[in-house]
Each structure stands twice: as structure tokens, then as C-alpha cells.
Structure 1
Amino acid sequence: MTARWRVPGRIEVLGKHTDYAGGNVLVCAAGRGVTVTGTATGGGRIVARSTSFPEPVTLGGGVDAGLPAGHWGRYLQTAIDRLTLNFGPLEGAELRIDSDLPLASGMSSSSALLVAVALVLADLNGLRETPLWAAELGTDRLRLASYLASVENGSSFSGLGGHTGVGTLGGSEDHTAMLCGSPGELGWFGFAPVEQQQSVPWPADQVFVVVTSGVRAEKTGAARELYNRASLATREALAVWNDATGRADRHLATAVRSSDDAVTRLLGLLPAGYLRLRVAQFVRESEVLVPQASAALQTGDLAGFAAATLESQQLAETQLGNQVPQTVALAADAVRLGAVAASAFGAGFGGSVWAVVPSDAAEGFAEEWLAGYARAFPSEAAVATALVTVPSAPAERLD
């Protein structure tokens, strides 16, 4: 038996570090992705080969392969261990992994890999036909996205117990965009609870030009602690809120929406410094900028969309603190070169920047953007790349 899935990367338009705290995001699937082809072999060994790396890996449920931090095989091991825990031992398989997504670029190539591997293994082992899958996941892609996010971050999901994830305390934004995106549209998704708020039409004459900064954003590597700092800050603020108010809010978003003066009260409870700045950034990004940008695009107001994007980028630099000089420079240069809007995206601490430009000017814009980057950051630019995409199709099973 053979199973094959293609899972796209994603572009986070707005919603920097908001999803895991229950906030709003504006995202889409990218036109590039990861394709995993699996063939059942019997036994208990799962052998994976990637066209991006020379050495195969051999894995098994509950067996530590001794892979170093940041190794691509850790995402496979995480998926195998969790599926084994939740649904029982998996049959042996050979997996072939092909990708045209830039690696560690902020476009969630790692999450796309985990999702694709999990979907292929689910097909090879008939997991969708089991009563447990039907009861816990059914056919709802939003629910499946939340489960696969829990696989990555290690948390429990409904009646499916958690296990060691990849080490980052992330949410389900990436997985939701990959599984639930729509061609030609941005998705406004909320995460307390998980639901799609709006489908936002994308202007037919505009495209995303994405430049990878060349600063690797490996969430299982050096950037993990920095990423988790931003996530843990929202948990700390929520704990302060619940302790002071006697409430039991599960998400920061629920807390700030609980009353008209909740934001003012919460900020007053927090000490000056990063914690207060982080919460202020979350509130502005989730509760104001995502709705503002969505409304602007609905009416064709590109200037309004650009204003929301600019503020989001500024907040990332000054309050969220997930930017590096390279991404700051790329975003500023894109606007200087005439982009409608530009923003760094993803976990941060490296990764990529998107710029919105007219489709007929995309190639020339990309060349000029990269050339300027090379003058400012020659070492990083040597491994930087550019791609052009529009909101694209979600994950699909291939014949």
C-alpha cells in the first residue's frame, strides 16, 4: 500500500505570536510545500529519506534514535511517538520526503513535514477507519489541525493524551492554514475556540514576494528558548490575571475580552518591562490589527491594509522582540522600494519577510530587493532566496 500527501507551507500575514494565547490570525497556505510518499513494508521500522539531506533515518515508536537538536528527523519521531501512543503500534514503512519550501525560513517547513508524515502514516495504518479517530477527530479539518498542533507542542487533545513534542510551546496557526486554507483567500482564524471568522478575498492583481533572510529560524534549535519566552509570557500574564480576579480563563484572549475594562485592569496588574509590553502587543495585534486589516482587504483598501501591517511590524520590533536586524532591514527596504506592505512573519528570530506587490512587477521587485539586501548583509544574502506566491490550496492527498 502507498499513500502520498502534499502539505503547503504558510504565510502569516498578521497575528504574530497570537494563536497559542487564543488570539486572532490572518493567514494563508503558500504555493510551495512538502510532499511525503509512504509505502507499507511490514515490521516496525520506519525508514525516511529526504531529498534535502543525504542520510536516511530509521525510526520506531518509543525508540530514541539519538538525533541531535534541530535534526529534521525529530519532527518525524514526534509524529510517530504520538500516533503510537494515541492509536497503537504503527506498521513499518518507507517514507520519501520532497520539498520545495525553503528550510528554517519561517514558512513552517517543519510543521508541514510533521503534518504530511502524520497524514501518510494515518493512511498506511488505516487510522481514519478506527472508532477512536472517528470519535475524536472525525472529518473536521479544523479539529484535525488542532490535534496535529498538539502533536507538535506535546499537549493533550480531547481524549488523546499528550507526549513529548518538539520542544516549542506553539499553537495551531500553521497547521490550520495548511489544512484549512483556500485558494485566492486569506483566512481570519480565531483560537478561543478554534474557528474561522472570515474568508478574506485576496486582490487578484497582487502577489506575495517572500525573501528568506538567511538567518535560520529553527524552532528545535537555537531559537527555541527565545520563541518560548514570548509564549511563556502570555501564560504568566494569564496566571496573574486569574489569581487577581478569581477567574479561570484558559487563554489570554478570553481574559482580555471578559469585560470592557479588562485590558486596562490586566496591564495595571503587570510590572513594567517585557511582560507588560508583550501583553500590549498581543492585544493590539489580535484584537485590533487583524480585524482592521481584514476589513480593509474586504473593501479593497490597500492603504488601510498597509497601515495595519506597518504597525504590526513596529510592534514586533519594539514590544514582541522577535526580530533581528536582517528582517527589520528587509521589511523597511521593501516599503522603500514601493511594496504595498511588508512584514516579517512566523516565529521570528530569523526567517522570512513578505512584501505585497503588483503581480506584473514581482520578478523585478524580487531582484532589486535581494540586491539591496546583499549590499547590507552579504553573508546572509549568500544563502537568501526569493519566491513569489499567492494564497494557495490546502493539504491534499495525491493519487
Structure 2
Amino acid sequence: MSKFSEVFGVEPDGAWRAPGRVNLIGEHTDYNDGLVLPIALPNRIVVTASARSDGQFAVASSGHSDTIEFSLAGIEPGSVADWAAYPAGAAWVLREAGFEIGGANLLVDSDLPSGAGLSSSAALLCATAVALLGLRGLEVDPAEVARLAQRAENQYVGAPVGLMDQMASMCCTAGHALYFDIRAMTTDQIPFDPAADGLGLLVVDVKAPHRHVDGEYAARRRSCEQAAAELGVPALRSIAFDQLDEALARLSDDVVRRRVRHVVTEIRRVEEAVELMRAGRLREVGPLFTASHVSMRDDFEITVPELDVAVDAALAAGAVGARMTGGGFGGCIIALVEADAVDATLAAIEKAFADHGFTAPTSLAATPSPGASRIS
């Protein structure tokens, strides 16, 4: 007997997956109409599902002992809490958008670490959405599913997230990074295959507790909005790289000045990374990773000691480049390393953590993977 039939008493109609993501470069440019460059991870959330005709939902998870039940008609923001708010939010947003999804039994499974900044919440929303649509044979453009998932997280869950995570989960392809221009709302698939260049992309969860995240995120956003207002532009994306010095000279607050410098230079680093990747010069992207980390550490001030130690240890071990990835104040680093040096690099990070008395990190190898799809 399968786990699904054991929980729900029926056989599933299918299973759908949505991956987590790491952003290669472009941190904190999303709410400045900027550029981002994520890849989908091989780690994923899987939703196994069966359709129901009574308009009811039963949701279970391999990581939780309880089964949550609710009706499609009764879903409203706040009506379902905790982890089940995400599948409930996916059902709510599809109902609100006019899709006839009916009810469903949903079993959630995952090998995607939660709390590591790898976009597990977006993956859960996207996996649920494609499962509910798939059960009814409804075909929807992946980018539209991403936008619906963002709306669910904004309006149902109550998290003011941007669109990058959902777009990565829905629209990435194997062997590529997703070049997402948030101002233009356009995407392009950029070849990114480290293994073909004798490289590996190491993702290290530093296991640092996220410190003051909500208040710090809000403060960074306010600084960017304040700067845009002072400079008379709709968003910091409007400041060209060659106009940066002039723009900084017009700002009176040094903290705001440093925030602007990070955003504008980070957008330029994304552009440079894309140019190099298109030219097949992947090793030259490594120094951009490192420069990005320095900018996040010194100008945007979103790193923590564990992140800085991990990056320094990776670079000392010979990494081509390394940087914090994600929102900051905890989470993960990525390191672009020689393929035969992945284990040695991780060992160097583990030793550095032990020397500093930090919790031991965990890691995964990141291969650029496809976005959400049906798997059975």
C-alpha cells in the first residue's frame, strides 16, 4: 500500500513536482525593477494528488503527522494556517482566478531543505498549483502560474515576496539559468552547465538562524524607496551604471548611498555574468560572485558571520568565486569550484566552522534543473 492510499484510502491520479532555486547573482534587485539570474535545483517538492467531486480538500505531508481538511468554497486568507496555508493559498488563488479545480487529496513530500533560503515556500505553492490544474486537465502558461503563486503568497499567506522564486520554479530549464528582467517582465534561458567546464556549483547551508529578518528586509526596502524618491526615479533600476557616481553625490545619507551602490552595481554584475555565460567564459563569472558578496557584506549589510566565514573558506580553498545567495541574515552560500575540488572545499568550510564554534553546515551539489512538471 502506498503512503498516499494509506492516508486517503484511494489511489492517486498523478504526481507533480516543483523545484527550489538558488539565485546565481542579482540579490535584492527584484524590488528595484532589476535583473536576477536563478537556476532551479534538483531538490524539489512533490505533490501527489487525487481529484475529489465534493469540493473538499484533505492535505497531508510526509513531514507532519496531521491531515488538514478544508472546503474550496470556504477558503479565505487566514482560514488555514501554518504549512497548510501554502496549498490552501494555491487553491484559493486558482479559485479566485476562475479555474474550475474542484476538491482534491494532496500529499506533500520534499527533499528541499526548509529555512535555507532555497525557496521552499514558492516551490510548494507552484507544485500545488500545477497539481490542481493537472488533475482537471487545465493547461496554463508557466509564467502565469508563477504570477498566481506570487499572488497567493502575497495575499493569502501574507508574505510580501517578489516574483523571482516562482518564475524560477516554473520557468527554469535544465542546463540553463533564467535571466529574468523584472522591469520588462521578460525571460531568457542562458546556458549554464558548470560540469561541461570542469566546474561544480556547491550550495552550503550555513545553518545560521535568520536574525531580525523581517525588520531588516523592510529597512533595506525603505532605503531603496527613499533613494529613488530623492533621485526622482521610479526605481533604482533607472540609474545607469555610468551615472552611479553622480547619483550617489546627490544623496545626503551615507547608509542610503551604500544601499544604492549595491543595487546598481549588482544589476551591472548580472549583465556582465550573462555576457560571460553566453560567451562560454564561465570561470570568469566567479570573480563577479565574489564581488557580489563583498557588496552585500559591506554596502547592503545583509550577511552574517557564518556566511562570511563560509565564503572566505571556500575562496581560500581555491574556489573560482563564492557568494551569499538569498535574502541574507542566514541561509546559504554558493561556490563555483573545480569539479575535483568540491569535497576539499566543503571540508575547508567545515573546518572553518568548527574553528569558529559554528553549527556544522550541510551541502548539496546544484545542477541546473527543469522547472515544474508532472512526473507520473
Q: TM-score, normalised by structure 2?
A: 0.86
Write the letter of the residue equivalent to 2:24: V
Instruction: Specify which of 369, 373, 376 is matched with residue 396 of structure 1.
Output: 373
Instruction: Specify which of 164, 171, 174 is matched with residue 183 of structure 1.
Output: 174
Task: Note closer, same or farther for the CA distance 1:50–1:196 as it changes in structure 2 (3 Å cut).
Answer: same
Deviation at 1:169, TM superposition (A): 2.8
Alignment of 1:223-262 (within 5 A): 223-242=213-232, 249=234, 251-253=235-237, 255-257=238-240, 261=243
1:281 is aligned to 262
Task: Note closer, same or farther for the CA distance 1:176–1:343 as it changes in structure 2 (3 Å cut).
Answer: same
Deviation at 1:284, TM superposition (A): 0.4
Write the letter of the residue equivalent to 2:54: G
Alignment of 1:106-117 (within 5 A): 106-117=117-128
| In 2: Cα distance, 1:296 partner to 1:198 partner | 14
Deviation at 1:76, TM superposition (A): 2.5
Deviation at 1:89, TM superposition (A): 7.4
1:200 aligns with 2:184: no
1:96 is aligned to 107
Alignment of 1:291-310 (within 5 A): 291-302=271-282, 304-310=284-290
1:33 aligns with 2:44: yes
Deviation at 1:269, TM superposition (A): 4.5
2:18–2:373 CA contact under 8 A, matched in 1: yes
Secondary structure in structure 2 of the residue aligned to 1:320:
coil
| In 1: Cα distance, 2:354 partner to 2:318 partner | 18
Deviation at 1:216, TM superposition (A): 4.5
Deviation at 1:232, TM superposition (A): 3.6
Secondary structure in structure 2 of the residue aligned to 1:110:
helix
Task: Note closer, same or farther for the CA distance 1:272–1:367 as it changes in structure 2 (3 Å cut).
Answer: same
Alignment of 1:337-348 (within 5 A): 337-348=317-328
Deviation at 1:193, TM superposition (A): 1.0
1:12–1:26 CA contact under 8 A, matched in 2: yes
Write the letter of the residue equivalent to 1:385: T
Task: Note closer, same or farther for the CA distance 1:252–1:66 as it changes in structure 2 (3 Å cut).
Answer: same
1:20–1:172 CA contact under 8 A, matched in 2: no
| In 1: Cα distance, 2:131 partner to 2:366 partner | 26
Percent sequence identity over matched residues? 28
1:370–1:386 CA contact under 8 A, matched in 2: no
Deviation at 1:191, TM superposition (A): 1.0
1:87–1:127 CA contact under 8 A, matched in 2: no
Write the letter of the residue equivalent to 1:32: N
Instruction: Specify which of 206, 210, 214 is matched with residue 213 of structure 1.
Output: 206
Deviation at 1:317, TM superposition (A): 0.8
| In 2: Cα distance, 1:31 partner to 1:334 partner | 22
Task: Note closer, same or farther for the CA distance 1:151–1:309 as it changes in structure 2 (3 Å cut).
Answer: same
Deviation at 1:343, TM superposition (A): 1.0
1:222-263, Cα deviation, whole Å (9 max, x unpaired): 623322332343333333444xxxx7x4x432x325x964x4
1:169–1:231 CA contact under 8 A, matched in 2: no
2:210–2:330 CA contact under 8 A, matched in 1: yes
1:169–1:228 CA contact under 8 A, matched in 2: no
2:315 is aligned to 335
| In 2: Cα distance, 1:111 partner to 1:393 partner | 15
Task: Note closer, same or farther for the CA distance 1:77–1:375 as it changes in structure 2 (3 Å cut).
Answer: farther
Write the letter of the residue equivalent to 1:18: T
Write the letter of the residue equivalent to 2:239: V
Larger CA deviation: 186-195 vs 109-118: 186-195
Secondary structure in structure 1 of the residue aligned to 2:37:
strand
Q: TM-score, normalised by structure 1?
A: 0.81
Deviation at 1:285, TM superposition (A): 0.1
Deviation at 1:302, TM superposition (A): 4.9
2:22–2:118 CA contact under 8 A, matched in 1: yes
1:314 aligns with 2:302: no
Task: Note closer, same or farther for the CA distance 1:66–1:198 as it changes in structure 2 (3 Å cut).
Answer: closer
1:140-162, Cα deviation, whole Å (9 max, x unpaired): x3343234323323xxxxxxxxx
Task: Note closer, same or farther for the CA distance 1:50–1:147 as it changes in structure 2 (3 Å cut).
Answer: same
1:309-337, Cα deviation, whole Å (9 max, x unpaired): 11100111112122111111111111111
Write the letter of the residue equivalent to 1:397: R
Secondary structure in structure 1 of the residue aligned to 2:44:
strand
Deviation at 1:198, TM superposition (A): 5.4
2:165 is aligned to 174
Aligned residues: CA RMSD: 2.7
Which sections of structure 2, spanning at least 5 residues, go unmatched?
Answer: 1-11
Secondary structure in structure 2 of the residue aligned to 1:56:
strand
1:323 aligns with 2:303: yes
| In 2: Cα distance, 1:232 partner to 1:42 partner | 47
| In 2: Cα distance, 1:199 partner to 1:302 partner | 11
